Amino acid sequence: MQEELATLQKVYDVLVEFIIKYSFQIVGALIILAIGVKLAGWLGQLVIRFCEKRELDLTLGRFLGNFTKMLVLTFVIIIAIGKFGISIAPFIAALGALAFGSSFALQGPLSNYGAGLSIILSRPFVVGDTILVQGVSGVVDEVRLAATILTNEDGEKITIPNKHVVGEIIHNSFANKVAEISIGISYGDDPQIAIDAINQSLTSIDGICLAPAPQVGIESFGDSSVNLGIRYWVPTTSYFSLLYRVNQDLYAALKQAGVNIPFPQREVRVFGTNVESRETGIS
């Protein structure tokens, strides 16, 4: 029992001595850290607001703001460690050796960071653009060093590692996305009447972009119909809702204009043992 009490007394004495000796250093380090964190956050936001006033790219502004914040925090931590009289040279050497040793195991993440820096500096797309890459399409919500974040009409967040973006073919339609549909009309109807009705209907629908203007014309000649090609641009965030509305409105507009949409029908004729068949379009 006496030995345990003696051990506790020694521990207590060491703690008291440590607190007496380093209390001011600890308090000073904590104050420096608290002020440094506030200062780093303030400077980061200041850089972002400065970039916004200069109308710089939002992605580049965020990168510069975060870089400034991390740089200030690094210096603050170095100063706080110095309050204890600890030399940071061994820590820097150890971090360098650790980074060299782990570089082989971190080739994937490091390649993502390098690709992210390339995207931020070269800016093949910016926040708000609609891109198609690796078969995935969406609106760019954020470009981080490790990954690019997309959102689609369903509110889903799509995370693409940046190494799968750099070096790939990127389709950038900016804030909008093209919708392409085809409608067949009867050979007995005037195509110009149908084109005028479609153009009038498209210009009356809210949400369809008028610059560039919708494109409507004869796309091909089918077996039972003249096929009209229609291309128009809509915001990516409302692509499907506008597509369904346009289809419904175009159907009603063609019907009101007296334009018939034929459907294929097979006619079968029997002559003895021979069977003759042909497809026709019924309006």
What angle, 0 to 180 degrees and rounded to 10, lies between the N-to-C axes of helices 58-82 and 107-122? 130
Q: Per the structure block, which two tokens stand in for 70? A: 């991390």
The secondary structure of residue 253, as a DSSP letter, is: H
Confidence of residue 70 (pLDDT cuts 50, 70, 90): confident
Question: What is the tens place of the pLDDT at every residue in 13-51?
Answer: 767 666 666 667 777 778 888 888 898 889 888 888 888
Segment 112-134, tens digit of pLDDT:
888 888 888 888 998 889 999 98
Instruction: Say how many residues make up the chain.
Output: 283
- pLDDT, residue 60, reads 74
- What's the CA gap between 45 and 42, in Å, rounded? 5
Per-residue pLDDT, 78: 78
Q: Which residues of 160-178 are buried (b: 16+ CB within 10 A; e: fewer)?
A: bbbbbbbeeeeeeeeebbe
Give me the domains of the chain, ranges plus CATH numbers.
2-102 (1.10.287.1260), 124-174 (2.30.30.60), 176-264 (3.30.70.100)
- Strands (E) across the chain are located at 130-133, 136-143, 147-151, 157-161, 171-174, 176-185, 215-221, 226-235, 263-271, 274-282
pLDDT per residue as tens digits for the range 144-181: 888 999 998 888 999 999 999 998 999 998 889 999 99
CB 232 within 8 A of CB 166: no
pLDDT tens by residue, 220-258: 998 889 999 999 999 998 999 999 999 999 999 999 999
Helix axes 239-256, 191-203, angle to 10 degrees: 140
Q: Residue 279 forms beta bridges with which residues?
A: 266
**Bridge partners of 270?**
275
Question: 3-state DSSP call for residue 146?
Answer: coil
CA nearest neighbour of 230 among 173, 175, 176, 183: 183
> Distance of alpha carbon 47 from its chain centroid, rounded?
23
Q: Does residue 22 contact residue 81 with C-beta atoms inside 8 Å?
A: no
Q: Which stretch of 64-78, 94-108, 228-242, 256-270 has the lowest confidence by average pLDDT?
A: 94-108
Is it the case that residue 106 has pLDDT exceeding 50?
A: no
What are the residues facing 269 on neighbouring strands?
276
Q: Which residue has the higher pLDDT, 187 or 84?
A: 187
